[in-house]
Amino acid sequence: MVGKVLDRFGKWYASCEVPPYVYAGPRAALMPPDLVLSWLAKRSYGAYRMWDWWANATGGTLASTRTPIREDTAETYRFDERYVEEIRKNGVAPISNAFPKQWIDEVHGYIMELHQKAKQGLERRRGEKGPWTDDQVTWLDESGIRFDCYLEHERYRFYFPTQLEQTRNLPKWVGEYLRLPEARSIFQAYYGQGVVWGNPYLMGEVLCPGRRLENWHFDCARKGMKAFLYVNDVGEKQGPLRVLHGTQHADERMRFQRFRVCRSGLKEAYYDDRTNAEYDQRGTSVVAPAGTLLLFDTTTVHAGSLCSEGMRVTLINGFRPANSMRINPRVLPNLPPVPTGGR
Ligand SMILES: O=C(O)CCC(=O)C(=O)O
Ligand SMILES: [Fe+2]
């Protein structure tokens, strides 16, 4: 009986994608309270606030979690403190000329090759049945890259495997962009704890003139950052990222919305038409030249924008503070949405 329960728990735990080193050593003591508080947090706003407090309170002290990758230099990397302040203030900090031009050109060339491959792959799959919808076609390439094509958005995504050592023929810069020590050291200072990278993904992306716009939202109720590299010049017509500065500082209304996301899923992180129209007026487009690295806190309210001319080529790496990798309400099954309660 006990064996059966443990077996089921083991299977569930493996499906949660909590990295194996997260509860290693003394940190294993965090697992029971994480589990209980996460379960409760899906059921009441008060418990959600308690779980949030607990995850923050134990974030910096016990968790020195780092993915064991060699050449890990983030801890000794020097960076400009002003970027940390800028993210604290606005939720986003653009760093211009973050990479040499030759490097950017090489990345651009490679992502354009992938875009070409994506279009050929789409052509081949047209009319075929597969695990896809009318809008989204997805497949795994022999080199381990996952292609994800959103037809109405004209958005092409290339997810690189983050277990690089198991993959052949990936350009060296994919690994460089995965490790990104400067960005990582900034994020570690911002969160006051270790961060992991390649979560939720490391990807290259091409955005072309399309029919559908990505609405205003935040990415997750948990903390996370994205390092967003513009690989070509992005003006108003190339679909720049848009942000509502400062919205990463949650007020009561936002905290309740985060609870709704924890309880019922990411749909709750998107806004209705009226709010979208209002944010279209208030938001700031981040237009910037090729080679700009945008560091942004993904709890900041943000949206894509329509590309109307040319294209937007980007490289994106996701980061999470160690405490967001622990068991949390999002790894438990979702419950039906609750009313917004006027908040
Ligand atoms: O493509 C964009 O500009 C926005 C994408 C976005 O929402 C995200 O990366 O989280
Ligand atoms: Fe987003």
Q: Tell me: the pLDDT tens digits for 156-193?
A: 999 999 888 777 788 888 888 888 888 988 998 899 88
Q: Is the CB of 92 under 6 A from ligand 1?
A: no
DSSP-assigned beta bridge partners for residue 195: 321
Instruction: Indicate whether 69 pLDDT > 50.
Output: no
Residue of 241, 280, 294, 301 to mutate, ligand 1, most atoms within 8 A of C-beta: 241
Instruction: Find the DSSP H helices in the chain.
Output: 2-15, 31-41, 45-57, 59-62, 81-90, 101-125, 172-179, 181-191, 252-264, 273-282
∠ Cα 18 24 30 (to 5°): 75
Highest mean pLDDT among 19-33, 50-64, 198-212: 198-212
Q: Would you mind telling me the total number of residues written for the chain in this entry? A: 343
* Residue 287 pLDDT > 70: yes
Which pLDDT tens digit goes with each residue over 316-342? 999 999 889 899 999 999 999 987 765
Evaluate if residue 61 carries a pLDDT over 70: no
**pLDDT at 116 > cutoff 90:** yes
Residue 64 has pLDDT above 80, yes or no: no
- What is the DSSP code (8-state) at residue 339? P
Can you tell me the distance from the alpha carbon of 141 to that of 241, in angstroms, rounded to the nearest whole number? 28
Element (H, E) at 321: strand 312-321
Cα 202 to Cα 161: distance, rounded to the nearest angstrom: 7
How much is the pLDDT for 71? 45
For the Cβ of 318 lying below 6 angstroms from any atom of ligand 1, the answer is no
Does the pLDDT of residue 92 top 50, yes or no?
yes
pLDDT of amino acid 65: 46
Q: What is the mean pLDDT of residues 31-46?
A: 96
**Cα–Cα distance between 226 and 228 in angstroms, integer?**
6
Q: Judge whether 223 and 320 are in contact, CB under 8 Å.
A: yes
Q: Which of 148, 214, 230, 284 to mutate to test the pocket of ligand 1 (most atoms within 8 A of CB)?
A: 214
What is residue 76's predicted lDDT score, i.e. its pLDDT? 54
pLDDT mean over 74-82: 69
Check: CB of residue 302 under 8 Å from CB of residue 244: yes
Using the predicted structure, report yes or no on whether residue 300 has a pLDDT greater than 60. yes
The finding on whether 205 has its CB within 6 A of some atom of ligand 1 is no
For domain 6-331, which architecture applies?
Sandwich (2.60)
Ligand 1 atom closest to Cα of residue 217: 7
For the CA of 226, the nearest atom of ligand 1: 9
Nearest to 319 by CA among 186, 204, 218: 186
Residue 23 has pLDDT above 90, yes or no: no
The whole-number pLDDT of residue 306 equals: 94
Q: What is the mean pLDDT of the chain?
A: 89
Q: How many CB atoms lie within 10 A of CB 14?
A: 10
Rounded Cα gap, residues 176 and 136, in angstroms: 29
Domain ranges of the chain: 6-331
Distances (CA, A) of 290 to 59, 87, 102, 108, 327: 35, 21, 11, 10, 38
**pLDDT of 50 above 70:** yes
pLDDT for res 232:
96
Over residues 63-72, the mean pLDDT reads 45
pLDDT at 135 over 80: yes
**CB 154 near ligand 1, within 6 Å:** no
Q: Indicate if the pLDDT at residue 75 is higher than 60.
A: no
d(CA 51, CA 49): 6
Q: What is the pTM of this model?
A: 0.91
Nearest CA to ligand 1 atom 1: 304
In whole angstroms, what is the distance from residue 315 CA to residue 228 CA? 6
**Cα 252 from chain centroid (whole Å):** 24
Ligand 1 midpoint to CA 194 (Å): 24
Q: How far apart are CA 43 and CA 56, in angstroms?
A: 20
What is the Rg, in whole angstroms, of the alpha carbon atoms belonging to the chain? 20
